[in-house]
């Protein structure tokens, strides 16, 4: 990561070189990147952060913070986790970076004792809401991993706390900071794909999704493998699909009006409660559909979001754009024009364009050429910048909220077998 | 399927796709849009299926697998490939060996290192010395390690002959189908004339109109691409012969392709005899000016 990490400055330079400044203009959450003096190096400019939840994702976010802490004048002031091994592993990582954060086992102690500007919440899903709300209520800005919260009500409560306190609530949808998505979305919104009809997305893996458990107790299994139990997670929906419905909403620039779905435990019948096989259809008021499926017993098709319009298709995960109509060969347009205008002139079409068969078939075109950006790092740079600026673009919070709400409504649609619309009280 | 233009827009249909590494343009007229869509989808499928057999670079394609294994063991092949192989044997003799589907590796070597010493062993033997064909059980076996099937010089022609059958099945009276301008198939005529007025887009060889009615045309050049890389050689000497471009008109797109390639590859003294072995309506060779 050291060699490949590209900061917001590289990112801005790249976007400018590729003529993508329109993309920046269309993405208000990136405007802060354009402010030259945003990361002052004085101690008083330093952004003090705490990381709450230092498991796998929390440690991954910390690695990004290590990369950007100097250039962004960010300090990791405290770490918190209820699980001692994770806390100690994170502390060791910091020690290797000559960072000495204060360690906490209870986040309320952290809030009482530390004066931090922002927290990064990477706990299991069911703990997001109360921690985020408590942080915002004591004046701390929040970066929270997706999905926002475990229930519709707790998701709304998080959003309400953000509105009431005026504190930043940024949800970790890193694709919002990914140049491939930014450029692709700009093309979609400029009409390059024409009228969108269907958006399809899938996330297929072939593993049991279990993490090793230190002992054989049920309690520890539920603690470590929280993603498999409904009390803590909606499984594939909150952990995977929430990313992709955010992409769909972003592409369509709307939120759905209804969802239907089905799900089952078809393969991993090992005591888990969440489905290992789901399929949903989200409908939008303009007639577009977002068709989703996810499973954990086949990985052939992997991960993709396909945005399909009448002029073209974008596949984001593989950075491809496909036109529905490749340019006609020379002379063809002239002949068509002649045919439609009643003119009978010679068609200058014949030419020695014989091409050898090669390995290349039409594989579309890249949306952008250079994809060596770490969107997760960029979104953390954004978080530090928003804290320093005192506010974050509201669009960022709304993207996270709507993705989370509709993910959870998808879960309800699967469980009830009904076509569900969003209750008025959750509409923002 | 795009309806084109203002006048007669309900009758002229254009669609295109990138297939066989070339832009395929389909122009139909005199039919309704629904039929045009059905025909176009069928054409795309026929070509994709053939591509899945003949592509020697795609590990999933039949020819790729045959090239990898047929020297080591006898391989049962599809009827489509068997037909293409048998036609390749006939074309070998009818072109006096100047069109050779069995020498893929030789051609690859010549293309990658033109002018250098390339082992021409695979092009020095007759097909019987290169490949054993068992028509009883549809199997083949390569008799020399250097044998490699290569349908690059005829693939689009075979595809267009398949397209011709599709058009007949749908009773399409008027069509102009072009693989990048180098392989063209026509049915019927232009809506405002008695034929399709085919001509060349290269100003250096711009000539009179070739009237096409239910005809195919193939145009081959000794060089290809913006880099002007030589890609058709005399398989017997490895050298490039005199003419830079050949155009052949006949009823079969595959035969037109075979001949346009063979005429570029062969010495001038062989041309009349090679062409005489086929039923050709028109052919012409062009020198670079």
Q: What is the CATH number of the domain that holds B275?
A: 3.10.520.10
Residue ending a domain, among B90, B118, B142, is B142
In a domain, A348, yes or no: no
Q: How confident is the model at residue B186 (pLDDT cuts 50, 70, 90)?
A: very high
Residue A210: other Cβ atoms inside 10 A: 14
pLDDT at B3: 47
**Cα four-point dihedral sign A90, A95, A96, A99:** positive
Chain A residues in contact with B182 by the CB 8 A cut-off are 350-355
Both tokens of residue B184? Answer: 């063209």
* B11 interfaces chain A, CB cutoff of 8 Å: no
Minimal C-alpha gap between A313 and chain B (Å):
14
State whether A392 and A418 are in the same domain: no
State whether A157 and A219 are in the same domain: no
Scanning every residue of chain A, which has its alpha carbon at the shortest distance from the alpha carbon of B52? A361
State whether B171 and B245 are in the same domain: yes
CA distances from B275 to A14, B208, B242 (A): 57, 21, 17
Both tokens of residue B201? Answer: 């887009």
State whether B28 and B92 are in the same domain: no
Bridge partners of A172, per DSSP, are A145
Chain A residues in contact with B221 by the CB 8 A cut-off are 352, 354
Domain that holds residue A158: 8-176+373-403
State whether B160 and B138 are in the same domain: no
* A355 interfaces chain B, CB cutoff of 8 Å: yes
State whether A149 and A263 are in the same domain: no
Which segment, A311-320, A399-408, B53-62, B150-159, is predicted with the most confidence on average? Answer: A399-408
Residues 6+ apart with CB under 8 A from A101: A50, A51, A76, A77, A78, A79, A91, A94
Q: Which residue did the predictor score with more confidence, B196 or B18?
A: B196
**Cα four-point dihedral sign A271, A276, A279, A285:** positive
* A343 interfaces chain B, CB cutoff of 8 Å: yes
State whether B102 and B242 are in the same domain: no
- State whether B182 and A352 contact (CB < 8 Å): yes
Which of A367-376, A413-422, B210-219, B248-257 is predicted least confidently?
A: A367-376
Residues present in chain A in total:
428
The tokens 């990361």 sit on which residue? Answer: A39
Alpha-carbon distance of A319 to A315, in angstroms, equals 6
In a domain, B56, yes or no: no
pLDDT in tens, A80-127: 999 999 999 999 999 999 999 999 999 999 999 999 999 999 999 999
Residue ending a domain, among B110, B142, B174, is B142
Q: How confident is the model at residue B9 (pLDDT cuts 50, 70, 90)?
A: very low
State whether B117 and B170 are in the same domain: no
Alpha-carbon distance of A382 to A68, in angstroms, equals 11
pLDDT at B222: 75
Flag whether the ipTM exceeds 0.90: no
In a domain, A120, yes or no: yes
pLDDT in tens, A243-274: 999 999 999 999 999 999 999 999 999 999 99
Alpha-carbon distance of A19 to A21, in angstroms, equals 6
In a domain, A27, yes or no: yes
* B259 interfaces chain A, CB cutoff of 8 Å: no
Coil, helix or strand at residue A377: helix
Both tokens of residue A72? Answer: 């962004």
Question: For testing the chain B interface, which of A323, A325, A345, A353 should be mutated: the one with the most B CBs within 10 Å?
Answer: A353
pLDDT in tens, A169-187: 999 999 999 888 998 999 9
Is the pLDDT at A4 greater than 60? The verdict is: no
pTM: predicted TM-score of the whole model, two decimal places: 0.72
State whether A143 and A240 are in the same domain: no
Q: Which residues of A135-171 are buried (b: 16+ CB within 10 A; e: fewer)?
A: bbeeebbbbbbbbbbbebebbbbbbebbeebebbbbb
In a domain, A317, yes or no: yes
* B67 interfaces chain A, CB cutoff of 8 Å: no
Q: A154 phi and psi, to 5 degrees?
A: -70, -30
- State whether A355 and B21 contact (CB < 8 Å): yes
**What ranges in A126-241 are assigned the alpha helix state H?**
128-137, 152-165, 179-189, 218-224, 236
* A357 interfaces chain B, CB cutoff of 8 Å: yes
Q: Which residue did the predictor score with more confidence, A215 or A262?
A: A262
State whether A226 and A211 are in the same domain: yes
pLDDT at A330: 74
Alpha-carbon distance of A372 to A358, in angstroms, equals 28
- State whether B5 and A339 contact (CB < 8 Å): yes
What would the mean pLDDT of A50-55 be, rounded to a whole number? 97
Whether omega for the bond prior to residue B21 falls within 30 degrees of 0, making it cis, is no
State whether B270 and B180 are in the same domain: yes
At CA A133, angle to CA A131 and CA A138, rounded to 5? 100
**Residue A285: CATH number of its domain:** 3.30.360.10
State whether B112 and B251 are in the same domain: no
Going by the DSSP 8-state scheme, the letter that residue A345 receives in this structure is -
Alpha-carbon distance of A196 to B192, in angstroms, equals 37
- State whether B190 and A344 contact (CB < 8 Å): yes
* B142 interfaces chain A, CB cutoff of 8 Å: no
Q: How confident is the model at residue A356 (pLDDT cuts 50, 70, 90)?
A: very low
State whether B179 and B75 are in the same domain: no
At CA A329, angle to CA A326 and CA A332, rounded to 5? 110
pLDDT at A234: 98
State whether A65 and A141 are in the same domain: yes
What would the mean pLDDT of A344-369 be, rounded to a whole number? 66
Closest CA to B35 of B15, B55, B50, B21: B15
State whether A233 and A264 are in the same domain: yes
In a domain, B188, yes or no: yes
Residue A394: other Cβ atoms inside 10 A: 14
State whether A111 and A132 are in the same domain: yes
In a domain, B185, yes or no: yes
pLDDT in tens, B67-118: 999 999 999 999 999 999 999 999 999 999 999 998 877 666 656 665 556 5
In a domain, A148, yes or no: yes
Domain that holds residue B117: 65-142
CA distances from A82 to A79, A93, A154 (A): 10, 17, 21
- Among the partner-chain residues B7, B193, B245, the one whose CB lies closest to the CB of A352 is B245
State whether B108 and B215 are in the same domain: no
At CA B47, angle to CA B43 and CA B48, rounded to 5? 115
In a domain, A420, yes or no: yes
* B176 interfaces chain A, CB cutoff of 8 Å: yes
What would the mean pLDDT of B146-172 be, rounded to a whole number? 94
* B287 interfaces chain A, CB cutoff of 8 Å: no
Mean pLDDT estimate for chain A: 90
* B197 interfaces chain A, CB cutoff of 8 Å: yes
pLDDT at A359: 33
In a domain, A224, yes or no: yes
State whether A255 and A111 are in the same domain: no
Which of A38-47, A276-285, B3-12, B213-222 is predicted least confidently?
A: B3-12
pLDDT at A354: 37
Is the pLDDT at B4 greater than 70? The verdict is: no
* B115 interfaces chain A, CB cutoff of 8 Å: no
Question: For testing the chain A interface, which of B51, B153, B200, B262 should be mutated: the one with the most A CBs within 10 Å?
Answer: B200
DSSP sequence for B85-103: HHHHHHHHHHTTTSS-TTB
Q: How confident is the model at residue B16 (pLDDT cuts 50, 70, 90)?
A: confident
* A363 interfaces chain B, CB cutoff of 8 Å: no
Is the pLDDT at A357 greater than 60? The verdict is: no
Is the pLDDT at B49 greater than 50? The verdict is: yes
- State whether A325 and B6 contact (CB < 8 Å): no
Q: What's the total number of domains in chain B?
A: 2
- State whether A339 and B178 contact (CB < 8 Å): no
In a domain, B59, yes or no: no
- State whether A328 and B221 contact (CB < 8 Å): no
Strand ranges (E), chain B: 2-3, 12-19, 22-29, 75-76, 131-134, 139-142, 175-179, 183-187, 196-200, 210-212, 216-221, 223-224, 229-230, 245-250, 282-286
- Give CB contacts under 8 A, 24+ apart, made by A138-142: A138/A111, A139/A165, A139/A167, A140/A111, A140/A116, A140/A167, A141/A117, A141/A167, A141/A168, A141/A169, A141/A170, A141/A383, A141/A386, A141/A387, A141/A392, A142/A118, A142/A167, A142/A168, A142/A169, A142/A170
Minimal C-alpha gap between A311 and chain B (Å):
11
pLDDT at B135: 87
Q: What's the total number of domains in chain A?
A: 2
Minimal C-alpha gap between A192 and chain B (Å):
17
State whether A115 and A243 are in the same domain: no
In a domain, A135, yes or no: yes
pLDDT at B94: 96
pLDDT at B173: 95
Q: CA Rg, chain B, in Å? A: 19
Q: Is residue B250 within 8 Å of B259, Cβ to Cβ?
A: yes
pLDDT at B64: 94
Is the pLDDT at B61 greater than 60? The verdict is: yes
Scanning every residue of chain A, which has its alpha carbon at the shortest distance from the alpha carbon of B15? A325
State whether B129 and B165 are in the same domain: no
Chain A residues in contact with B196 by the CB 8 A cut-off are 347
State whether B18 and B124 are in the same domain: no
Residue ending a domain, among B101, B118, B142, is B142
Chain A residues in contact with B54 by the CB 8 A cut-off are 357
pLDDT at B145: 86
- State whether B8 and A339 contact (CB < 8 Å): yes
**Residue A62: CATH number of its domain:** 3.40.50.720
Closest CA to B46 of B65, B26, B29: B26
State whether B269 and B187 are in the same domain: yes
pLDDT at A355: 43
Q: What share of chain A in percent tops pLDDT 70? A: 88
State whether A366 and A384 are in the same domain: no
**How many CB pairs (< 8 A) connect A and B?**
158
Mean pLDDT estimate for chain B: 85
In a domain, B149, yes or no: no
State whether A253 and A128 are in the same domain: no
- Among the partner-chain residues A339, A344, A357, the one whose CB lies closest to the CB of B152 is A357
Q: How many CA atoms lie within 13 A of B158 on its CB side?
A: 23
């Amino acid at each position: 990561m050291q060699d490949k990490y590209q900061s917001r400055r590289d990112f801005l330079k790249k976007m400018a070189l590729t003529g993508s400044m329109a993309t920046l203009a269309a993405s208000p959450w990136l405007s802060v990147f354009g402010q030259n003096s945003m990361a002052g190096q004085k101690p008083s400019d330093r952004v003090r952060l705490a990381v709450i939840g230092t498991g796998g994702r929390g440690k991954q976010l910390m690695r990004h913070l290590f990369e950007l802490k100097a250039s962004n004048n960010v300090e990791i002031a405290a770490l918190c986790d209820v699980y001692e091994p994770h806390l100690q592993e994170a502390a060791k990582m910091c020690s290797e970076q000559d960072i000495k954060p204060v360690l906490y086992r209870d986040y309320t102690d952290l809030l009482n004792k530390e004066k931090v500007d922002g927290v990064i919440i990477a706990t299991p899903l069911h703990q997001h809401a109360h921690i985020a709300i408590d942080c915002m209520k004591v004046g701390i800005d929040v970066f929270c991993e997706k999905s926002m919260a475990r229930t519709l009500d707790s998701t709304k409560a998080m959003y309400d706390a953000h509105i009431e306190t005026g504190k930043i609530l940024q949800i970790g949808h890193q694709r919002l900071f990914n140049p491939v998505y930014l450029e692709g979305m700009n093309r979609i919104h400029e009409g390059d794909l024409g009228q969108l009809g269907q958006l399809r997305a899938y996330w297929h893996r072939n593993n049991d999704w279990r993490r090793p458990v230190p002992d054989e107790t049920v309690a520890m299994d539920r603690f470590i493998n929280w993603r498999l139990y409904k009390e803590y997670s909606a499984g594939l929906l909150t952990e995977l699909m929430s990313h992709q419905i955010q992409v769909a909403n972003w592409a369509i620039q709307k939120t759905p009006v209804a969802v239907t779905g089905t799900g089952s435990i078809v393969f991993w019948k090992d005591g888990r409660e969440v489905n290992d096989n789901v399929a949903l259809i989200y409908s939008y008021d303009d007639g577009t559909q977002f068709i989703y499926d996810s499973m954990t017993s086949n990985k052939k098709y992997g991960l993709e979001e396909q945005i399909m319009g009448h002029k073209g298709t974008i596949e984001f995960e593989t950075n491809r754009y496909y036109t529905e109509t490749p340019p006609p060969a020379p002379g063809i347009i002239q002949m068509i024009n002649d045919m439609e205008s009643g003119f009978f002139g010679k068609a200058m079409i014949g030419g020695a364009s014989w091409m050898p068969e090669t390995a290349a078939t039409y594989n579309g075109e890249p949306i952008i050429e250079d994809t060596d950006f770490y969107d997760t790092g960029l979104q953390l740079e954004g978080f530090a910048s928003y804290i320093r600026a005192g506010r974050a673009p509201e669009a960022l919070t709304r993207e996270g909220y709507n993705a989370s709400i509709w993910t959870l409504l998808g879960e309800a649609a699967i469980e009830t077998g009904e076509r569900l619309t969003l209750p008025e009280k959750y509409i923002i | 399927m795009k309806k084109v233009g203002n006048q007669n827009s309900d009758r002229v249909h254009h669609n295109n796709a990138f297939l066989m590494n070339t832009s395929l343009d389909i122009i139909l007229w005199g039919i309704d849009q629904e039929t045009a869509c059905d025909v176009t989808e069928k054409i795309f499928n026929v070509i994709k299926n053939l591509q899945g057999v003949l592509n020697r670079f795609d590990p999933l394609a039949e020819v790729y697998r045959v090239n990898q294994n047929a020297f080591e063991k006898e391989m049962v092949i599809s009827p489509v490939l068997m037909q293409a192989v048998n036609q390749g044997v006939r074309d070998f003799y009818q072109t006096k060996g100047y069109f050779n589907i069995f020498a893929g590796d030789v051609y690859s070597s010549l293309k990658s290192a033109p002018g250098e010493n390339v082992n021409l062993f695979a092009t020095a033997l007759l097909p019987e010395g290169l490949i054993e064909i068992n028509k009883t059980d549809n199997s083949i076996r390569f008799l020399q390690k250097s044998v490699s099937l290569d349908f690059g010089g005829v693939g689009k022609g075979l595809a267009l002959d398949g397209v011709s059958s599709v058009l007949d099945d749908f009773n399409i009276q008027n069509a102009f189908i072009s693989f990048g301008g180098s392989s063209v198939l026509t049915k019927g005529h232009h809506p405002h004339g008695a034929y399709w007025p085919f001509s060349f887009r290269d100003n250096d060889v711009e000539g009179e109109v070739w009237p096409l009615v239910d005809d195919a045309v193939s145009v081959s050049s000794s060089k290809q691409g913006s880099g002007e890389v030589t890609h058709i050689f005399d398989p017997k000497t490895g050298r490039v012969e005199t003419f830079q471009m050949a155009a052949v008109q006949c009823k079969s797109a595959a035969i037109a392709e075979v001949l346009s390639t063979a005429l570029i590859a062969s010495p001038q003294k062989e041309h009349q005899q090679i062409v005489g072995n086929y039923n050709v309506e028109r052919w012409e060779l062009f020198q670079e000016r």
